[in-house]
């Protein structure tokens, strides 16, 4: 069930190009699952016209609180960074299909702002390993927003952590009997899928897609992604989380 809720902004942390927003949003917090998202109306005016889809980074049901981790990329997110505590912001959610709940050891893999859902998932799976990949140290969000006890960082230029990309870290890991949850750009997810196929990975992996969205609930058909069976899925309503074997990542 989704709601439109005028949530109260209880806290906002702006650090570099990242924002962590905490909202009192009891209806959404009650229903949300890891991997789902909300559609945010940044301002009451019609510019920007469309809502912004933002992953739910964390949720505290008992407090009626959700957190959103946002990277400042354009006008909408820049305006969001200018909001103040106690402002009311229109949220629609929770939307989409999130990550399944599993009883196996989990490896979390995120690239760029795709690491956002893992704040919550780290709490849900406290023994999970988190692999984070970025272009350079300058693009890493504040690490104190995450549990740093089981984190592996890779950067393309080697400015922080290991030099390389996500696959550099995965190649060194034992993936047997593990479930992989990944979130990031399509190119990264496609590379992970190809890597898993070459490794004859027989386990489960679930990928959360990043896509431009207009409506957020499947009406506009603007966020299609090809399936392997030659049909199309909607990232907003069929996803954003898909089993890795469902999607034709190479297209």
For the entire predicted model, the pTM comes to: 0.92
> At 43, is the pLDDT very low, low, confident or very high (cuts 50, 70, 90)?
low
% of the chain at pLDDT higher than 70:
96
Q: What is the CATH number of domain 105-243?
A: 3.40.50.80
> Tell me, what's the pLDDT at 81?
84
Q: Tell me, yes or no, if the two domains 3-95 and 105-243 fold the same way.
A: no
61 is in an annotated binding site: no
Q: What is the DSSP string of 159-220?
A: SSSEES-HHHHHTTS--TTEEEEEES-HHHHHHHHHHHHHTT--S-EEEE-----SSSSSSS
| Predicted local confidence at residue 152, as pLDDT | 94
Give me the architecture of the 3-95 domain, per CATH. Answer: Beta Barrel (2.40)
What band does 122 get if pLDDT is binned at 50, 70 and 90? very high
- Distance between CA 42 and CA 45 in Å, rounded? 9
Least confident of 25-39, 43-57, 111-125: 43-57
Q: Is residue 202 a known part of a binding site?
A: no
Confirm whether residue 235 is marked as ligand binding. no
Q: Would the annotation count 183 as a binding residue?
A: no
Residue extents of the structural domains in the chain: 3-95, 105-243
Q: Is 94 annotated as a binding residue?
A: no
Q: Binding site annotation covers 54?
A: yes
Is 71 annotated in a binding site? The answer is yes
């Amino acid at each position: 069930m989704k709601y439109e809720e005028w949530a109260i902004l209880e806290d906002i942390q702006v650090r570099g190009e990242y924002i962590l927003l905490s909202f009192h949003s009891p209806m959404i917090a009650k229903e949300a699952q890891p991997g789902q998202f909300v559609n945010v109306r940044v301002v009451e005016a019609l510019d920007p016209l469309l809502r912004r889809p933002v992953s739910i980074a964390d949720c505290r049901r008992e407090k009626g609180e959700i957190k959103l981790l946002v990277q400042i990329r354009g006008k909408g997110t820049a305006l969001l960074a200018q909001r103040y505590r106690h402002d009311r912001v229109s949220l629609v959610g929770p939307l989409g299909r999130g990550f399944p709940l599993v009883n196996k050891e989990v490896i979390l893999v995120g690239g760029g702002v795709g690491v956002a859902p893992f704040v919550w998932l780290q709490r849900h799976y406290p023994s999970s390993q988190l692999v984070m990949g970025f272009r350079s140290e300058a693009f890493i969000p504040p690490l104190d927003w995450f549990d740093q006890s089981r984190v592996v960082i890779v950067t393309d230029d080697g400015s922080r952590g290991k030099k390389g990309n996500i696959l550099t870290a995965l190649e060194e890991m034992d993936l047997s009997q593990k479930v992989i949850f990944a979130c990031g750009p399509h190119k990264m997810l496609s590379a992970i899928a190809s890597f898993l196929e070459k490794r004859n990975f027989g386990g489960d992996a679930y990928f959360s897609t990043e896509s431009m969205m207009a409506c957020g609930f499947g009406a506009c058909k603007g966020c299609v992604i090809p399936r392997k069976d030659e049909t199309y899925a909607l990232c907003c309503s069929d996803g954003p989380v898909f089993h890795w074997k469902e999607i034709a990542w190479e297209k």
